[in-house]
Amino acid sequence: MATFAVRLSMNRKKIYQVEIMGKLAGVVGNYNAHLVAYPAFVWLQIPEDFVTSLGLSFNPLCYSTRIMFGRNDRKYEGRKSCSDVAHGRSSTNLVIEPHDYIAILFDTIFQFNNVLIDFDRDIWGYISSGYFKQVNPIDFENSEGNLGIANENLPISRWQHDLTDSAVIRNLGLGLGPSLIAYKTTLQGISKLQVNEARLSENLDNCWEVLAEPI
């Protein structure tokens, strides 16, 4: 069990290291309209401050293309966006936050779940429901089943901007829900485990060959 604890701990750290990203921009991904309406505002900083105030990491994607707009009977044309004109910088853009972090997060949870499946199967091997005095390993069986369902859903998504984006976001729970149920049932199963020290000592006394290496 200590081996699995270390493996799960390592993957848990990876999960917490994934940055949850956020983005706030105009309908086409840039701040052109914002700058035209309120040119005095620093439009690249305002969205960043708002997103980070929510506890998210800001994804600094803004639009960069040919623009032409009129103001005070004058036209301005250039290869950079209005935010570039205002801030002296340029970058790339997708209209929405591209959700790359979700793919990374789900892949890491997928790895965590695989370790837990290995643990469930290992513990199941020590428990048998064939004898009336022994505990039915139903918790670990349920956990393994839910982890299998979760891992089927976690890596299968289109994390790019298309018309399925909103549907994908609304269905994140299809992978995370069974994972959470599996974690709870695994903990429930662990809470029922007891070490039979007398039986372990008896088995060791009858199997001295396990000490052949140190001898």
Residue by residue, pLDDT tens for the chain (215 residues) are 889 999 999 999 999 999 998 888 777 777 888 888 898 988 878 888 999 999 999 887 654 433 334 444 444 443 344 444 444 344 455 566 677 788 888 889 989 999 999 998 888 877 755 554 555 667 777 888 888 877 776 655 444 444 455 666 777 787 788 889 999 999 998 888 888 888 888 888 888 887 777 77
Say what the pLDDT of residue 154 is: 61
CA 215 to CA 210: how far, in whole Å? Answer: 10
> What would the two tokens of residue 69 be?
């707009």
Say what the pLDDT of residue 8 is: 93
The neighbouring-strand residues paired with 70 are 75
Cα torsion for 176, 181, 183, 188, to the nearest 10°? 170
**All domains of the chain in start order, with CATH:** 2-13+98-211 (1.20.200.10), 24-87 (no CATH)
Say what the pLDDT of residue 13 is: 95
Say what the pLDDT of residue 88 is: 38
Q: Which residue has the tokens 């372990």?
A: 200
> What would the two tokens of residue 21 be?
């990203």
What SS3 state is found at 83?
helix
32, 67 Cβ separation under 8 angstroms:
yes
Say what the pLDDT of residue 95 is: 60
pTM value is 0.67
Query: 105-121 burial, b if ≥16 CB within 10 A, otherwise e?
Result: bbebbbbbbebbbbbbe
Count of residues in the chain: 215
Say what the pLDDT of residue 183 is: 92
Say what the pLDDT of residue 61 is: 66
Say what the pLDDT of residue 84 is: 47
- Is the sign of the CA dihedral 204, 206, 210, 215 positive or negative? positive
Coarse DSSP helix, strand, coil percentages of the chain, rounded to the nearest 5 percent: 55, 5, 40
CB-based contacts of 159-162 (< 8 A; 24+ apart in sequence): 159/98, 159/99, 159/100, 159/102, 159/103, 160/98, 160/99, 161/94, 161/95, 161/96, 161/98
